[in-house]
Amino acid sequence: MMRFIVKLLWIAFFSGILFAIAFIGLIHLGLFGELPDFERLENPEYNIASEVYTADGKLIGKYYIQDRSFVDFEDLPPHLIQALIATEDTRFYEHHGIDWKGVVGAIVYTLQGKKRGGSTITQQLAKNLFPRQRFRTIPDIVITKLKEWITAVRLERSYTKDEIITMYFNTVPFGGTVYGIKTAAYTYFGKPVDSLTIEESATLVGMLKATTKYNPVLNPEDSRQRRNVVIQRMADVGFITQEEADSLKELPLITNYTPITHISGIAPYFREYLRRELDEFLKNYTKPDGTPYDLYTDGLRIYTTIDSRMQKYAEQAMKEHLSHMQKLFYREHPPKRLWKEKRELLVRVLKRTSRYIQLKEKGLSEDAIFDSLRKPVPMKIFTWEGTVDTVMSPWDSVAHHLTIIQAGIIAIDNATGHIKAWVGGANFRFFQYDHVLARRQVGSTFKPIVYSVAIENGWSPCYEIPNMPVVFPEYDNWSPQNADKRYGEMLTLAQGLAYSINTVTAYIIKQFGPEAVIEMARRLGIKSEIPPVPSIALGTVELSPKELTNAYVPFATGGQYRDPIAIIRIEDRYGNVIVDFRNPSKQVLDQRTAGLMVALLQNVVNRGTGVRLRLKYQLPGAIGGKTGTTQEHADAWFIGFTPQLTVGVWTGWDYPELHFEDMKYGQGASMALPIWALFMKKVFEDKELYYKPTAQFEFLKPEWIANQHCLYNWRSLRKTRDESTTPDDVIIF
C-alpha cells in the first residue's frame, strides 16, 4: 500500500512538472495571449519626447505624451547603477532573467504573511516595455507573471547586461508624465544624469518603489527615509563603506525642481509657435516605414536659432521696463475709475470667458451669471513681481489682467535671418496670445518703406519738401496733420524722417502713389494685405512685429532679404538629419538705396525721435531705427538695427481701448524704445556673443553721403520741440 502511495506521489510530481512545462510551452506559443516576437524585442516601441534646443545648445522645451528622453550607458554614473542593483536585484549579473533564489524567497515570505518582491531588473524591464493588462483573476496573475519570465529570458538573450540596465533606466516612470532617468534628473535636480551625486541617485532609485509616496517634492520626508534605505542597501552589499553610508544618510534632501512644461522655462511663446509649425511641417516627412513623424512620440531633436542668453535678456528687458510703465499706467488710470469708464469692454471680454459660457449653458440669466462672477474664489494672478496666490472674484481677475501691458519682441540676425529672441507677451501662463505674430497698426515705423521709394527714385536725403498739409481730393480730401501743428518751412527728407513729420511722408506718397509703396513693401518681405490708400504712409496698415522687423533687415544688409527662420535642423532619435533648413538671400534693394536709408535711419537715432538711445541709454556704435505711435497711443513701436542684428519691439494692451492718455508715456520713444535699449545693452555687454557695438555697415560707401551736407550740417527743429514730451509720430486724421 505504501509503495502504491509513493508511486502515486511520484506520478503526481512528474505530472505536475510535465503540466507546468506544457503550460509554459503553450504560453510561449502564444495560446494565452501574444508574446513580443524577436522584432519587437530588438526594436521595442517607446513614446519618446521630442526635444527643443537653442543655437547655443540649451534644452528649452519638449513635446511629449510621456516625457521621456534617452541616455547612453556611458552617461550613467556607477553609483546610480549600484543603487539600482543593491535595491532591486543584487544578483543581476549572475542570473539570466529569473532569480530563482529570489522567487523562492518571495514565496517563503508570502507564506509567512510578509510582502517581498522577487522580480529581477530584467523582469521589471519586460513589464515596462510590454505593460500588463489589469488582473481579473488568480490565473490572470499567474499567466502574466509567466509571460514576464519568458520575456525576461528572451531579453537576456537579445541584450547585454549593460544594455538591459540602460533600457531599464530609459523606460522606468518617475511620476506623472516623467519617464526615464534623464528626464528625472533634470526634473528633480536640474542637472544631467552624469552629474548626479550618490545621495541624489539613491533618491531617484528610491522613487521606483512608489513614485508618489517617495516623490522628493511632494513627500520630502518619506523620500529622505527611502533614500537612506537605498544608501544602506548599497553599504550592505559592499558598494560603499558603512562610514560613507552613515555620512550620506545625514545629508539633507535638497532638490532643484525644474520641470519643463509648455508654460515654464524660457521662450514659451516661441516654443508654442514652433509646435504649431512643426505639426504641419512634419506631415511632409515620413519615417523609413512610410508613416509620418509624430512630434509627441518619435523623440525628434529640434535645433532652433534662438540664443538662450539673448532670449533671457529680452525677457528681462521687457520686465524691467514694463513693470515701471505699469505703475505709471495705474497712476494715470486708477482701476476703479478705469472700469467705470470701460465697463462695456470688461463685460464684452467677460462674456468670452469659459466660466461665463459654462454658466450660460446651464441656463442662468445674465444677472445671475454676473453675480456668480463677482464672488471671490482662491486663484493665482499675474503681477510683474511674480505670480500671487490670492482670493479674488473672476470679475476682478479679468479686469486686473486686462490692464497688464503686453509686448512683442523679436530679434533677427542680419547675416543669416535666424531668429535669436522671441517674446510674445508678459507671461505665457496668463496671456497666451502671441504679440510677435499679432497684427497691429504700425504707425510711423512704416515710413521708412515710403522713404525707400523716394530714395530709389533718385531723391537725396537733402531733397527739400514744403512742410505744408497735403490734400488728397480723390480720398474725400483727406489731409494728414502734424502732431505738433507746426507748418510753413522747407524740410529735408532727413529732417522729415528724423522728426517723423507727417506732411513730408504724405508728400512722398502723393508723388509716387500707394501702389509704388505697396510694391516696395512686398519686395521687403511684407505679405499681409495693404490697402492701396494714401493713409498707409502714416502706418494705418496692420502688421506683426515679426513681419515688420524683418522688412528692416535689407536696410542693414545692403539690400539683401532672407525669410526669417526659427529652425536650423531636425534630427530623428538616432541623430539622423531629417531636414536641414536654408534660407537663401535675394537682392531686393540696390546697395546705394539701402545705404542712404541707413544714413536716414541713423539720423533718427542720433538726432530725432530715437535720440534717447544716445542721450539716456548711452548706447554706442552704428544704430538705425524708427519709432512709431498710433492713434490715441494704442500701439507703441521701435524697430532698430545694428550692422549685425535687427530688433523689433511693440508694446500696448490686448485691446486698443486701453492706453495712456498722456503722450509723454504713450509714444513709441517712451514705451517701446527703452526695451530695445535695455536688451541691446545686455547683448553688447555679453562678451561671449557675436554682436558687438564696434560693428560697421561695411557696404555703406562714404562717397554716397559725402555730398549730403544736410546730414552733417544738421538743422535741428528742437527749438520748439521737447524730445521728452513731443509726440514722435502720431497719426492724426
List, by residue number, the catalytic residues: 88, 444
Contact status, residue 374 vs residue 390, Cβ threshold 8 Å: no
Q: How many CB atoms lie within 10 A of CB 424?
A: 26
Residue 259 backbone phi and psi in degrees, to 5: -70, 140
Residue 338 backbone phi and psi in degrees, to 5: -60, -45
3-state secondary structure at position 57: coil
Contact status, residue 298 vs residue 48, Cβ threshold 8 Å: yes
Q: How far apart are CA 490 and CA 616, in angstroms?
A: 30
Number of H helices, E strands in the chain: 29, 20
Q: How far apart are CA 49 and CA 70, in angstroms?
A: 9
Task: Identify the sign of the CA torsion 105, 111, 114, 118.
Answer: positive
How far, CA to CA in Å, does 62 sit from each of 51, 68, 231, 280, 531?
5, 9, 32, 17, 41
Name the strand (E) or helix (H) holding 228. Answer: helix 220-236
How far, CA to CA in Å, does 671 sit from each of 17, 325, 603, 632, 645?
84, 8, 20, 13, 21
Q: In one letter, which amino acid is 18?
A: L
Q: How far apart are CA 652 and CA 635, in angstroms?
A: 5
- Strand stretches in 317-476, DSSP E: 377-381, 388-392, 406-413, 419-423, 440-441, 464-466
What nine digits make up the cell of 121?
531588473
3-state secondary structure at position 624: strand
b vs e for 606-617, b when ≥16 Cβ sit within 10 Å of the residue's Cβ?
bbbbbbbbeeee
Nearest in space to 400 (alpha carbons), one of 338, 465, 358, 464: 338
Chain-centre distance for alpha carbon 449: 31
Write down the residue that cell numbers 537576456 correspond to: 156
Q: In one letter, which amino acid is 505?
A: T
Say if residue 200 is exposed, middle or buried (CB neighbours under 10 Å; 0-12, 13-18, 19+): buried
Q: How far apart are CA 182 and CA 630, in angstroms?
A: 50
What nine digits make up the cell of 19?
503540466
| Dihedral-angle region of residue 632 (phi above 0 means left; psi in -120 to 50 means alpha; beta otherwise) | left
Q: How far apart are CA 599 and CA 711, in angstroms?
A: 8
Residue 255 backbone phi and psi in degrees, to 5: -115, 165
Contact status, residue 404 vs residue 326, Cβ threshold 8 Å: yes
Nearest in space to 83 (alpha carbons), one of 109, 131, 121, 128: 121
Nearest in space to 300 (alpha carbons), one of 601, 542, 585, 64: 64
Name the strand (E) or helix (H) holding 63. Answer: strand 59-63
How far, CA to CA in Å, does 386 sit from each of 383, 405, 429, 524?
5, 15, 12, 39
What nine digits make up the cell of 426?
508678459
